[in-house]
Chains A and B, each alone.
Chain A
Amino acid sequence: MPDESFVGRSLPAAGPFQVGREKIREFAAAIGDASPLSRDLDVARAAGHPDLVAPPTFSTTFTMPLIEAFLRDPDFGWDYTRMVHGDQRITFHRAIHGGDELFTTIHVDELRTRAGSHMLTLRCEVADAAGEPVATTSSLLVTQA
Chain B
Amino acid sequence: MSTPQNAAKGDELPPLRLHLTRADLVRYAGASGDFNPIHWSDRVAGLAGLPGVIAHGMLTMAVAGRVVTDWVGDPSLVRSYSTRFTRPVVVPDDDTGALVEITGTVADVTESDGVRIARIDVKAVFDGKSVLGRATAEVVLPG
Contact = CB atoms under 8 A, between A and B. Distances in A.
A binds B: yes
A61 B31 contact: yes
A65 B62 CA distance: 17
A56 B33 CA distance: 16
A110 to B, nearest CB: 16
Contact of A31 (B28, B57, B78, B79): B28
A35 interface: yes
Interface SS of chain A: helix, strand, loop or mixed?
Answer: mixed
B75 A95 contact: yes
Interface residues of B, number: 34
A81 B27 CA distance: 22
Given A27-B31, A33-B66, A85 B58 contact: yes
Contacts of B66: 31-33
Interface of B: 18, 24, 27-28, 30-34, 48, 57-59, 61-63, 65-66, 69-70, 73-76, 78-85, 133, 137
| Top 9 closest pairs, chain A to chain B, by CB | A95-B76, A30-B31, A89-B82, A31-B62, A87-B84, A85-B57, A57-B62, A91-B80, A56-B78
